[in-house]
């Protein structure tokens, strides 16, 4: 089988696609693997927030079109960028073992940040939790690929910025990290640190091959986290954080919904059998909803629309 991989053109996206390509090339049923780098609207429009231009789904739409038009067979994504509702005809054929799920502060440690320091992040989830930790800091929008964001930090535009640990590790930039946020300080986005492989539902032979790559532990935590977000009716930009862990046969899921300024927050956890990941996610979403999570999200959506 020959496999064409649709990928974004950023350095991190290409690293992830090459990582998947290397794994596929070792598979007995794969004869050749080719990368199909594509530009997406999410990469091209950097002067407006994702909330205003349609969300993180803009990072993957062109990749799905390439699969529809038979220019590619699979697409490789950071799962945190994948909308919780998959478009008709597409599925996640496999997820790889989870890398680091945490966020990192780059440019300064949390303790050494000056009062009213300026921190760069366009994530409402990160902004809300930063405000809970340090109400005094100013958070300014920051978009672009990892190198672009680091360049703005190095240029003095920000006192510090927040980036995913996994991305920095994959690019060999781990030394730039000044502080790794613990789950108590900052919960990650759903499926952060997980690489997913998307394909067409109708391609049964390819789906069977991809199943060999699927990591069962990452698949369970990814399912649980994305199900919480789906049931809360969150999108990729919502200030929703979800983190699932498994120890033996026990899964614990913790979630947070907060106003971007940290003024309101709902946080809760559930635990139970890892085999019941979807049911645990539903249970947690119900608890969060009862505590007012959806009202917070509705208020944010209303302010964005205004």
Active site residues: 81
Q: Which two tokens stand for residue 147?
A: 């190198």
Phi/psi of residue 217, each to 5°? -65, -50
- Among candidate residues 288, 193, 294, the one with its CA nearest the CA of residue 245: 193
Q: What is the DSSP string of the chain?
A: -EEEEEEESSHHHHHHHHHHHHHHHTSTT--EEEEEEE--HHHH--SS-HHHHT-GGGGTHHHHHHHHTTS-SEEEEEGGGS-SSPPTTEEEEEEPPP----EEEESS-TTTSPTT-EEE---HHHHHHHHHH-TT-EEE---S-HHHHHHHHHTTS-SEEEEEHHHHHHTT-GGGEEEEPPTTT-PPPTTTT-EEEEEETT-HHHHHHHHTT--HHHHHHHHHHHHHHHHTT--TTSSEEEEEEEETTEEEEEEEEE-TTSSSEEEEEEEEEGGGHHHHHHHHHHHHHHTTHHHHHHHHHHHHH-
Under 8 Å between Cβ of 129 and 256: yes
The three-point CA angle 253-285-242 to 5° equals 40
Under 8 Å between Cβ of 27 and 206: no
């Amino acid at each position: 089988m020959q496999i064409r991989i649709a990928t974004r053109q950023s350095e991190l996206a290409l690293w992830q696609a090459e990582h998947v390509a290397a794994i596929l090339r070792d598979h007995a049923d794969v004869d050749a693997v080719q990368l199909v780098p594509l530009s997406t609207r999410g990469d091209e429009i950097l002067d407006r927030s994702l909330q205003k231009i349609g969300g993180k789904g803009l990072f993957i739409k062109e990749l799905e079109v390439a699969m529809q038009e038979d220019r590619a067979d699979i697409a490789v994504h950071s799962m945190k960028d994948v909308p919780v509702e998959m478009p008709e005809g597409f599925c996640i054929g496999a997820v790889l073992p989870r890398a680091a799920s945490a966020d990192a502060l780059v440019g300064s440690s949390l303790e050494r940040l000056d009062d009213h320091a300026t921190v760069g992040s366009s994530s409402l989830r990160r902004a809300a939790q930063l405000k809970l930790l340090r109400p005094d800091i100013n958070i300014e929008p920051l978009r672009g690929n990892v190198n672009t964001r680091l360049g703005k930090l190095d240029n003095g535009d920000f006192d510090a910025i927040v980036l995913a640990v996994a991305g920095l590790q994959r690019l060999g930039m781990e030394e730039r990290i000044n502080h790794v946020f613990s789950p108590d300080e900052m919960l990650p986005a759903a499926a952060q640190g997980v690489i997913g492989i998307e394909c067409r539902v109708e391609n049964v032979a390819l789906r069977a091959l991809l199943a060999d790559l699927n990591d069962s532990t990452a698949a369970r935590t990814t399912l649980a986290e994305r199900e919480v977000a789906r049931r809360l009716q969150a999108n990729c930009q919502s200030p929703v954080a979800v983190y699932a862990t498994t120890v033996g046969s026990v899964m614990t899921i913790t979630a947070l919904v907060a106003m971007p300024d940290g003024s309101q927050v709902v946080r809760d956890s559930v635990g139970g059998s890892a085999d019941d990941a979807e049911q645990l996610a539903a249970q947690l979403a119900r608890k969060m909803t009862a505590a007012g999570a959806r009202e917070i999200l509705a208020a944010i959506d209303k302010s964005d629309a205004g």
